[in-house]
């Protein structure tokens, strides 16, 4: 079976198990989504969702963040890890948006990549979940791990993995497939002690066959 057909079978199985996926990061607008994405670096979505209600209650719009106190924001997002750098990125992002984009996140992938704290993974999340525009594939630690285990790629670099997946996956499933793999990585295909004995993808899993 070729990889494109295999990925489609995996997609159908994952969709049947998890249902239609949406980003777990809670937000009311695209600007909040972008800030939540910055917070999510090296941090769980669950932890981010614990932090953002207080953060977005204190800072209600981009203008508030642009004039925020570094120290005050740090105290609120401390548990997200790397809080000093994340605070710097959030405030710098807000100031750029207020100055150059009327306080709005630009609807442009290349423009997003130039913003503080936004890399390819973050830009893909914002474009797909915020603007419903598919420019690429979100490759986080779960997608990276599962793509290797399921046999989609032999690369370890996220950019190369994304390029491989873009060749294999039909474009219409780029966003939902990435989210489904993230869900599956959290529930079954963990980095340590994967739950292979109860996983429903084992018949076509390269990792399971080598165990």
Cβ-Cβ contacts under 8 Å for 190 (sequence gap 6 or more): none
Contact 119, 156 (CB under 8 A): no
Tell me how far apart the alpha carbons of residues 15 and 37 are, in angstroms, rounded to a whole number.
24
Q: Which amino acids are annotated catalytic?
A: 121, 140
Report the distance separating Cα 186 and Cα 59, nearest Å: 31
Query: Which residues are CB-neighbours of 201 under 8 A, at least 6 positions away?
Result: 10, 13, 14, 150, 184, 208
């Amino acid at each position: 079976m070729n990889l494109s057909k295999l990925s489609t079978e995996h997609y159908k199985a994952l969709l049947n198990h998890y249902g239609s996926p949406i980003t777990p990061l809670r937000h009311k607008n695209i600007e909040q989504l972008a800030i939540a994405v910055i917070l999510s670096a090296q941090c769980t979505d669950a932890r981010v969702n614990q932090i953002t209600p207080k953060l977005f209650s204190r800072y209600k719009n981009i203008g508030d963040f642009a004039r925020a106190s570094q120290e005050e924001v740090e105290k609120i997002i401390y548990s997200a890890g790397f809080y000093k750098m994340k605070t710097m990125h959030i405030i710098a992002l807000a100031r750029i948006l207020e100055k150059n984009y009327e306080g709005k996140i630009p609807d442009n992938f290349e423009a997003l990549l130039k913003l503080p704290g936004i890399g390819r993974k973050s830009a893909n999340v914002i474009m797909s979940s915020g603007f419903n525009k598919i420019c690429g594939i979100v490759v986080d630690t779960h997608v990276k791990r599962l793509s290797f285990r399921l046999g989609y790629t032999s690369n370890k670099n996220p950019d190369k993995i994304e390029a491989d997946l873009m060749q294999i996956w039909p474009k219409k499933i780029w966003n939902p497939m990435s989210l489904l793999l993230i869900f599956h990585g959290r529930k079954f295909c963990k980095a340590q002690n994967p739950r292979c004995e109860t996983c429903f993808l084992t018949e076509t899993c390269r990792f399971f066959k080598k165990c």
